[in-house]
Amino acid sequence: MASHASWDEKHAAEIIGGFTSMAGATLPILHALQESFGFITERAIEMVADALNLSRAEVYGVVSFYHDFRREPPGKHVLKLCRAEACQSMGADALAARDKSDLGIDWHGTTADGRVTLEPVFCLGLCSCAPAAMIDGKLVGRLTETTLTSTLAKARA
């Protein structure tokens, strides 16, 4: 399960402070912030901009460019389903369609009960055991409808 701390400015400042001597620290800082808090808040963008002597627009531009960075809190569980070709060849599209209709959400959506966020991923390097997924950071290969349904049921219980 993805457990994240709620926003804490002091903690955020400590995280950012740990990177001040690093060259090109924007991505490492954003990763660390997201790992702690689950997403990148408006205030976090301001703080990163101040710490790195960048404009807020520049930091915002970085956050919005990279698919990994979220501007909204994720659900309790994050399911990343691979959408790329090797997984397609093993039925990933049908799995994704099934999953979306079960959850009642589209890509990047979070279920109304806040339990599951569904994200696309383009290749997990598991193309030899497709279709593949990452569920709360855990890799799963040769995904079937049965395994996916039971995983989702567990996540939503």
Of the candidate spans 3-11, 96-104, 128-136, 145-153, the one that interacts with other proteins by CB under 8 A turns out to be: 128-136
What's the one-letter identity of residue 106? D
Our finding on whether 66 is near other proteins (CB under 8 A) is yes
Residue 134 contacts other proteins per CB under 8 A: yes
Q: Is 65 in the site for other proteins (CB under 8 A)?
A: yes
Q: Which residue, 94 or 112, is less far from other proteins as judged by CB? A: 94
Q: Compute and round to an integer the Cα radius of gyration of the chain.
A: 17
Q: Tell me the closest approach of the beta carbon of residue 140 to ligand FES, in angstroms.
A: 11
Cβ 101 to ligand FES shortest distance, Å: 21
The verdict on 87 binding other proteins (CB under 8 A) reads: yes
Instruction: Give the number of residues in contact with other proteins, rule: CB under 8 A.
Output: 41
DSSP alpha helix (H) spans, the chain: 9-17, 26-37, 42-52, 56-65, 85-88, 92-103, 145-156
- Which of the ranges 4-12, 96-104, 131-139, 145-153 carries the binding residues for other proteins, by CB under 8 A? 131-139
DSSP state letters, 119-145: EEES--S-GGG-S-EEETTEEE-S--H
Does 97 bind other proteins (CB under 8 A)? Our answer is no
Residue 79's SS3 state is strand
Q: What single-letter DSSP state applies at residue 110?
A: B
